[in-house]
Amino acid sequence: MEQTKDNLCVVVGLPDIIVDFKEVHRGVTPTLYYDTTFNMGDFYVSALLYRHTVFVNAPVMPLMMLVHERRTTESHELLFRWLEKLTGIKAVVIVVDREPAITNAVLKTLPQAKIVYCWNHVIGDVRAWIKSSGGNSADEQFYASCVRDLLIIIIFVYYNCSQTAQSYSTNTSIRR
């Protein structure tokens, strides 16, 4: 438990889960997922998750949780400092929701981390923007579908699957 600028923060993590996480990810760069998921009235709960690749379907497991009063960079920095201290991780891929406090905390405490933005949040932001711009639900569906297609094509190209990407874009209707 730590207090930063009138902000009580509690980092929670089970030692056995942390040991297991280190074993599963020994020698590989892990992918973590982090989001402030719960607003519990006077405080928030942020979850740091990972996929347990030893099990079939690689279920998502909680690695650590942060209970905090305010959604500040300093709050999230505390969790990432504990992550590094307990796991020794310096290089990690971390999927976040584009919340500036989280992004800044990752950049400050884990400078070798690669930040990836969650597709669900990106598409949700597109839908919200279309709606706030006077679009209807058909517009939301269309543009969300286009963004999803673009994200998929980017992944195909990144992994040098250009023939698959070309086939996908040809067979996917993005015409209005």
Domains and CATH numbers, the chain: 2-117 (3.30.420), 120-171 (no CATH)
- DSSP character at residue 113: P
The string over 44-72, giving b where at least 16 C-beta atoms fall within 10 Å of a residue's C-beta and e elsewhere, is: bbbbbbbbbeeeeeeeeeebbbbbbeebb
36: its two tokens = 């402030």
Q: Model confidence over 113-135: pLDDT tens digits?
A: 988 887 777 888 888 898 999 99
Q: Model confidence over 2-55: pLDDT tens digits?
A: 655 677 888 999 999 999 999 888 888 888 999 887 777 888 999 999 988 787
Q: What is the pTM of this model?
A: 0.73
Instruction: State in Å, rounded, how far the first CA of the chain is from the last one.
Output: 53
Q: Are 69 and 8 in contact (CB under 8 A)?
A: yes
